Amino acid sequence: MPAIDIASWVLLMAGGGFCLIGGIGLHRLPDFYTRMHGAGITDTLGAGLVILGLVLQAGWTLVAVKLVFILVILWLTSPTSTHAIAKAARASGLEPVTGDDAGASHEGSSHEGAGGAASA
């Protein structure tokens, strides 16, 4: 097996792995902002590695040039749109989960008062 095929399959498998990790992150992470991080991993790194693997499979053809254009557009638009969505969510009043809030979202308890003590 030629080295270019091995490199291509490594990139494809790594991209698929990052897409899987990002998908799991979308389901497991506790709030909107951390889920956006999982989506960003899937968009930028996972899809980017898959496209790079496909470029190696395509060789020096017009298909490879088109894939590179798609990759550049993806790398420019994905972080920009993620930032815009997070900024809009913050402007609309959606607060991120902080270390003080993390226990409540996982345990289902509610915090009361300034000290964050749960009611008895």
What is the Cα 20 distance to its own chain's centre? 10
Task: Choose between 37 and 16: higher pLDDT.
Answer: 16
- 29-50 pLDDT, tens digit per residue, is 888 988 888 888 888 899 999 9
- 62-112 pLDDT, tens digit per residue, is 999 999 999 999 999 988 998 999 999 999 998 888 877 655 555 444 444
pLDDT at 39: 86
Q: How far apart are CA 64 and CA 51, in angstroms?
A: 9
Q: Where are the domains of the chain?
A: 3-94
42 within 8 A of 23, measured Cβ to Cβ? yes
* Tokens read off for 63: 């298909």
| Backbone phi and psi for residue 96, each to the nearest 5 degrees, phi listed first | -75, 155
38 within 8 A of 22, measured Cβ to Cβ? yes
User: Average per-residue pLDDT in the chain?
Assistant: 84
Quick one: which H or E segment has residue 111?
Answer: strand 111-112
Question: Which pLDDT band, with edges at 50, 70 and 90, does 7 fall under?
Answer: very high
pLDDT at 89: 92
Q: How far apart are CA 118 and CA 120, in angstroms?
A: 6
- 51-75 pLDDT, tens digit per residue, is 999 999 998 999 999 999 999 999 9
Q: How far apart are CA 81 and CA 39, in angstroms?
A: 11
Sign of CA dihedral 85, 87, 93, 95: positive
